[in-house]
Amino acid sequence: MTLPSEDPKRHRLKFEDWPDGDRAAWEAALAPGDLLDGTMGAAHHWSGDTRDHRRKAYGRWLTSLIAAGGFDPMVAPTSRITRDAVSAYVLELQTQVASYTMWGYIAGLHAVAMAFDPDADWHWLRRIVGKLEATLCDSKDKHSRLRPASEVFKWAITRLQEIEQNAPERFIDTHYRDALMIALLINCPTMRLRNLTGIEIGRHLIQHSDGWTLQFPGAEMKARKPVGMRVPEILKQYLRRYLDCHRPALLDGDDSDSLWITQYGKPMTKKMVSSRISIVTERAFGKPINPHLFRDCAVTFVAMNDPKHIGIAAPLLGHIDPRTTEHHYIQAQQIAAGTKLQASLQALRKQTAPFQYRPTDQEDTDT
C-alpha cells in the first residue's frame, strides 16, 4: 500500500530538477533589473515567502504534467498551461488535497503564468481561480476557531498577571513568553508570522523614553511597505519584565538579538512560534488559533463592535494600495488603526470579569 505522502504524484518537483527553460523563465521573472530599460522581471516585487509558495505551486504543476506522460521539456513553459491541461490538473487535485490547498496550487500557477508572460491572455485561468475560491470549503473550520480580539487579549493579560502573582511555577519563563507573544500579536495584527518570529531588539523593537515601537522595513512586509506601530501602553510593564527577567533566564548566558527565545536558549523559529501559539490558545479556548487567524479575530472585533469604522481594517492588516496612498499617509493610517484597536480592547477589558486560565498536562516544551 502506498501512503499519500509516498505517492510520487503528490510531490513537488524541486527547482534544481526543473527543465532549463522553466528555470530560465523563473529567474527572468524575478530579475531585479531596471525599470527604465525594461529588464525588471514581472515578479521582482514578490516577497521571500511569496516566491517560496509559488515556486512550490509550480513544482507541483510540473510533477503532474510529467506523471501524465508526454512531457516535453524543450517547449516554452507557458505553452503547457492550457485549458485542457489545467482542467485535468484540477480533477487530479480534487482527489488528493483539501479544497484550500487546491485553490492555492491553482492560484500559484496563475501567478507564475502571469509572471512568465504578462502579455498573454490568462483571464480564463483567473476565472478558474475565482470559481475555486467561491466554492472554497475550509476543512479546518476556521470560523469556529475565531474568538473576539478582546477575549484573546483579556486571556493574555490575565495569564501574565497569574504568572507574576503565582510564581514560581514550572516552565514559568516559556509560559510568560507565550502569553506576551499572544498579547502583542492580537494588538498588532499587521505583523505576520514571519514578522513576529523575526523581531530583533534594537532593529525591530525600538525603545523610546515613553515606551517601545515596532518598526519593519518594506522588504520584510508582504505588501512591501514599511510598517511602524506602538507597543500598547498596557503591555509596557509585561514587556519590560520579559526583557529583564524571563528572556535572560531563557538565554542562560547566551547572547542573541532575537526577542523570542526557546527554553534551550536559541531564537525561536516560525514553526516553533506557530506551534506554541496554537497549543496555548487551544488550552485556553478549546480550539487552536494559529497566528494567521489573529488577523481575522481583529477584523471580526472591529466589524462587530465598531462597524462604522470598518475602514480601519485595511490599514490595520497592511492591505494598502500603493498606487493611491503615499508612504507617510500609509504609516499614519497603520498607527492610527492600531491605536484605535488597542484603545477599544483596553476599554472593553475594564468592563469584563477576569478570565480564568485552566492549564492541562500537555507538553510544555518548544518543538
Dump pLDDT digits (tens) for 178-232.
Answer: 999 999 999 888 889 999 999 999 999 999 999 999 999 988 887 778 889 899 9
| Mean pLDDT calculated for residue range 230-256 | 95
How does residue 110 score in pLDDT terms, banded at 50, 70 and 90?
Answer: very high
Residue 40 has pLDDT above 90, yes or no: no
- Output the pLDDT for position 338: 61
Helix (H, G, I), strand (E, B) or coil at 72: coil
pLDDT: is 194 or 317 the higher one? 194
Give the global pTM. 0.61
- Poorest-pLDDT segment among 15-24, 286-295, 316-325: 316-325
For 320, what's the count of Cα atoms within 13 Å in the CB-facing half-sphere? 26
- Output the pLDDT for position 333: 47
- Residue 213: how many other CB atoms lie within 10 Å: 15
**Going by C-beta distance under 8 Å and a sequence separation of 6 or more, which residues neighbour residue 344?**
150, 301, 302, 305, 306
For 364, what's the count of Cα atoms within 13 Å in the CB-facing half-sphere? 15
Give the dihedral sign, CA 202/183/228/350.
negative
H-run or E-run covering 70 = none
Name the CA radius of gyration of the chain, rounded. Answer: 23
How does residue 325 score in pLDDT terms, banded at 50, 70 and 90?
Answer: very low
- Poorest-pLDDT segment among 90-104, 251-265, 275-289, 353-367: 353-367
Closest CA to 299 of 177, 132, 142, 98: 142
pLDDT: is 232 or 328 the higher one? 232
| Mean pLDDT calculated for residue range 309-320 | 49
What torsion do the CA atoms of 188, 192, 197, 200 make, to the nearest 10 degrees? -60
Q: Are the CB atoms for 302 and 310 separated by under 8 Å?
A: yes
Q: Do strands 211-216 and 227-230 pair parallel, antiparallel, or not at all (unpaired)?
A: antiparallel
| Mean pLDDT calculated for residue range 138-164 | 83
Q: Are the CB atoms for 355 and 182 separated by under 8 Å?
A: no
